[in-house]
Chains A and B, each alone.
Chain A
Amino acid sequence: MADRSPHDPLAGIAFDRVPPAGAYGVTGEPGIVVSTAEEPFIALVAARNGFGASVAERLGRAFGGPGLDRPHAGFGSGSTVVGIGPGRFLVLSRAEADLPGTLRAVLGTEAAITGQSDAFVLFDLSGARVPDLLAKGAPVDLDPRVFPVGDAATTLVAHIGATLWRSGETGWRVLVARSFEASFTRFLLGAGAEYGLRLEGRG
């Protein structure tokens, strides 16, 4: 893939298309690597009145994490549970094709479950400069000292509604509504150009 101008990394790219894979911004070792992540099965869990704590605990046991009703991301093997509101969770899975069915078996009548696999695109951002990039768009303090691994926030990034969490020391994930994929990728490329950014192709 061709390297692009560091002065205008989006030159010549149609605004309504997801930009092609390649290296953007300053040349050399990229400060940020972006890919769309491999946890394609997503479901929303909404606890029924009074069952928030119980649902959180069951999700923690079945899919990983501390099982608390908090804005937090818990990690299991091939799954993630993210708190997005009181009694509201997004569950992501790499392999559970029938995620709503599995969740119904785990939660019974304690929660309403909605499949959301087609609703979101999951961006995987890695590199030491990711907090600097996200700081240009998110009105949340993402400094690693106050936003430890496992913290999550549902907020706006570049005026686009997003749920983001820190998945590792230099790894971050951002969940964005699918129709915003092109806009959000353009934000990443524009904001990340000064650090050097490599956009990987869709798997």
Chain B
Amino acid sequence: MRIPCPYCGARDAHEFAYLGDATLTRPDPAAADAADRFHDYVYLRDNPAGRHQEWWYHANGCRQWLRLTRDTRTHAIEAAEPARRDATQADMPGAAS
């Protein structure tokens, strides 16, 4: 699988490290059901067949985190955007304005 890094261009997946689901939000630790929510947040993962948003780290390249939209059945990559956006990245392809 080749991943289209917004800075480096298309690179082999073995340059990257995979983190996982990019749609999770850390729960509020002060909530009454915080223990249950954290259990879900830390351990429980969906295993979707199809579109999946996920974090990848370009460890052996530009050392930036990417948010990738990938089809888990075909490995087709729909979008790759930098996880961190600021003015230094505004003119990069794939960066949202």
Contacts and interface: CB of A to CB of B under 8 A. Distances in A.
Interface string B65-97: 000000000000000001000111101100000
B11 A86 contact: no
B61 A52 contact: no
A154 B64 CA distance: 12
Contact of A50 (B15, B82, B88): B88
Contacts of A87: 88-89
Given A85-B62, A155-B60, A156-B15, A50 B86 contact: yes
A67 to B, nearest CB: 13
Contacts of A153: 8
A153 B9 CA distance: 9
Contact of B61 (A53, A70, A155): A155
Nearest to B62: A85
Q: Chain A: interface residue count, which band?
A: 20 to 34
Given A71-B7, A155-B60, A50 B87 contact: yes
A184 to B, nearest CB: 15
Contacts of A85: 7, 61-64
A139 interface: yes
Contacts of A69: 88, 91-92
Interface in A109-140: 139-140
Contacts of A139: 11-12, 14-15
Contacts of B61: 85, 154-155
A49 B87 contact: yes
Interface in A73-87: 84-87
Interface string B3-27: 0000111011011000000000000
B88 A49 contact: yes
A45 interface: no
Contacts of B89: 52, 86-87
A75 B69 CA distance: 37
Contacts of B86: 49-50, 52
Contacts of B12: 139
Report which residue of A49, A86, A139, A155 has the largest number of chain B beta carbons within 10 angstroms of its beta carbon. A86
A88 to B, nearest CB: 7
Interface of A: 47, 49-53, 69-71, 84-88, 139-140, 153-156, 161
